[in-house]
Amino acid sequence: MTTFAPFLSKGLRHRIDQTVACEADWFRQYPQTGMKPGFGWLELGLFSGDGENAGPSAFQIERTQPQKDGTVRVYVTLTHAESNERPWTWQVAAIVRREDGHYVVDDVIYLKDKNNPADVRLSKLLSDGCNGPRWVGEGTRPR
């Protein structure tokens, strides 16, 4: 967070702080060893996606799209390449806003593709199973 915090909006930093607290609450509720936590952000690359998509090796900014609310969507193609395998690519859209005189990332949309049936927002993944800083269970959303 020390490295990325200056590039994240206050709102996104707050959501991440809430997620960290929710994770701690999960471990408080389930102190048994050997259990895998039920939160979706466990293997998430904040800007790239989950699983294998968490570790891109290259990126290319494709285009920007101003939004009516003053934010800008920045479409990025990410690539992951292993030494002996064909590289694969996927896209994300960073939601960027102006805050305190500079642009910051406010959210990320992991765009629909052959591996993802629908667009998913980072902000949604960070709140899944949480009600603010409290773990309330898998598949639940804050009300």
Residue 8 per-residue DSSP state: B
Residue 26's nearest CA partner among 143, 131, 123 is: 131
C-alpha–C-alpha distance, residues 120 and 91, integer Å: 12
Across 53-78, b (16+ Cβ under 10 Å) vs e yields beebeeeeeeeeeeeeeebbbbbbeb
- Write down the domain spans for the chain: 5-135
**Please, what is the average pLDDT of the chain?**
87
Q: What is the pLDDT of residue 33?
A: 67
**Which range in 20-24, 61-65, 87-91, 129-133 is most confidently predicted, on average pLDDT?**
61-65
Mean pLDDT value across residues 69-84:
90
Predicted TM-score (pTM) of this structure:
0.85
Across 3-14, b (16+ Cβ under 10 Å) vs e yields eeeeebbeebee
Confidence of residue 142 (pLDDT cuts 50, 70, 90): very low
